[in-house]
Structure 1
Amino acid sequence: MGKLIEEFRKGWQGVATPPLGLSLAFALACLLLSTLARWGLAQVRPDVYFTPYFPAVFFAAAFGGFRVGIVTALVGGVLGFVLNFGDAFADRARFVLLTLYWGVCALTIWGVEHYRTMLAEQRRISRRLIEEEEYRKLLVDELQHRLKNKLSTVHAVMHQVLHDQPEVWARIDPRLRSLAATDDLISRIDKGGCDIRDLLISELGPYGHVRFTLNGERLFLPPKLAVTLSLMFHELATNAGKYGAFSSPRGLLQVSWTVNDDRLTITWDETEGPTVGEISTPGFGTKLLKSALSAFDGKSEISYLKTGLHCIMQCRIPKSE
């Protein structure tokens, strides 16, 4: 009984084609109900012969297909012509009504079958898209796994090559780790980008959560922009740890961001850090900060105030990648 109910549910919802026996049984039930309705109408209007059978044809065709609909229309026509629930008798008018009934039934069955065909095609496309999405996720996961292995290999090779140059390695190692951490963060949300707050916390968390405050609405960044900003945040955080707010026991950092249309503005503001002395020749980090956002129609402005480093980053948020 449970299997029969499940087959009826799938057929009614259009998920699967019901068995022929079940379709015919449903059509028979519709005909019986229509005949009962016709008997009730005959108490008021005895010359109603075929109209009650239209719903039976519609539902039978929708449930079992056009063949079951045709059988239902034929049987309904015969019942309407043969059965009498009053003093009326078969005449030429009933033949004309029967012809009209079958004509309307043909149009009804055609319309229902057209709708069923469209629905089946939409379901087929939906299943194919779901399968393609699952396959894409599988490929993306495999690609991310391979990229992670490649990054680990690059990290190991460079460490081996630069083992006798600790100063150079000390500059490269944290940047590679920052890239790996950002890639992991992006991969966890299926390449949909990552939240700017999560990105900042991953970079600033090691310095202590009480040392910084984040102000801004929830904002998801596309992957390419997220990777670029992660490098910039890493440079700024490293600078703050060596020379800025994080190098002082009382130093604090406030990062805020706003979005106007598709323009993102990020403000990095350090306070209570050491007094900024003479500015040295711009190194790799400074050059990175000034040029990294050019690919996103953006720029960075760095100011060395008495209270600490102040940086404003502006760029366009890509619509898609």
Structure 2
Amino acid sequence: MEYFQQSTCDFFQITLMIILTMELIIGNLGNGFLALVNSMNWVKRKKISLVNQILTALATSRICLLWFLYTALLVSLPNPDLMTGRMIKIINNLWTIVNHFSIWLATCLGIFYFLKIANFSNSSFLYLKWRVKKAVSVTLLVSLVLFFLHILLVNLHIDVWINESQRNISYSFSSHNPAEIYRQVLSIHIIFLSVPFGLSLSSFLLLIFSLHAHQKKMQQHVQGCRDASTMAHMKALQTVITFLLLYTIFFLSIFIQIWKYELLEKNLFTLFCQVIALAFPSVHSCVLILGDIKMRQAFLSVLWWLICRPNYMETSGP
């Protein structure tokens, strides 16, 4: 019976590692494609728009996030003895840095779409609409303040935990269970991640309200057709909905770890939570590519070239 349970556990662990590796490949290809296309357009045109600046920075931060999470998982799972207090501190700080910019740049992208597409007669909204770049810059500056506070609180909790643990003469990191401190640190992460989530949710709700008001206005003039503004609203809503859905799944993975923090000792549980978390930076990049006409056309061109290249090599060969 124990052998069967061990075999089942090994099977699920291998399956989760395969899924994790696929997410890493998809995420790197998607984010790498976004960064490469925007960088090439920047070099070609000698200028880059605000939305492409956000997309390039977002893609770069997510590549760093994917590789960091994957590397940290490969180091910590087979070698739990390496998880000393200093190592836990380094991993949490690095995760906080790369995840912060990934989340907040995606939030800024949602704010950009909202300010560019939504239509309100409110004077405050019109002020922000005509100063989109300033609004995005201020959002990033505010996020930096929250970032430093986030880092400070996380390090404070870890230092307190280390000092309390070291008071015990028989203390050993290899024998000490760090699950409790993980639970406390994850709770702090949830608090600070809820701020960009709230901003994204507000943008989504305001876009819906703007779309409803616009459609109601258009029904008085045009019947049975969709104008450009309505289509822009719908595309922006699709992008924001996908972002919120993936963001919610990401939130749930952290909540699960807080709720069942005693299971953090189990490699299979940790691996499962990481698979859920990695879906956010991996899948969202694909959504951004498919949701943008120029990006989608560039992706299809590259895909067509890759498909036709072997046939071309065969026909042009000796």
Confirm or deny a common fold (TM above 0.5): no
Higher helix share: 2
Greater RCO between the two (CA within 8 Å, min separation 6)?
2
TM-score calculated relative to the size of structure 1: 0.29
Q: Which structure is larger by alpha-carbon Rg, 1 or 2?
A: 1
TM-score calculated relative to the size of structure 2: 0.30
